[in-house]
Amino acid sequence: MFPAVPNLIIPHGNNTKAVPALHFTTGR
């Protein structure tokens, strides 16, 4: 949903666990 969020997740990739963590931080 947010461009800044997926951008940080895409390059990391290995940190798939960081995906849900960032989503919760953004409030989604």
Running DSSP on this structure, what letter comes out for residue 27? T
- Distances in Å between the Cα of 20 and the Cα atoms of 1, 5, 16, 23 are 13, 10, 8, 5
13 CB-contact burial (10 Å; exposed 0-12 / middle 13-18 / buried 19+): exposed
The mean pLDDT value for 2-16 works out to 54
pTM of the entire predicted model: 0.16
So what's the pLDDT on residue 2?
A: 54
pLDDT band at 28 (very low <50, low <70, confident <90, very high): very low
- The Cα–Cα gap between 27 and 13 comes to 21
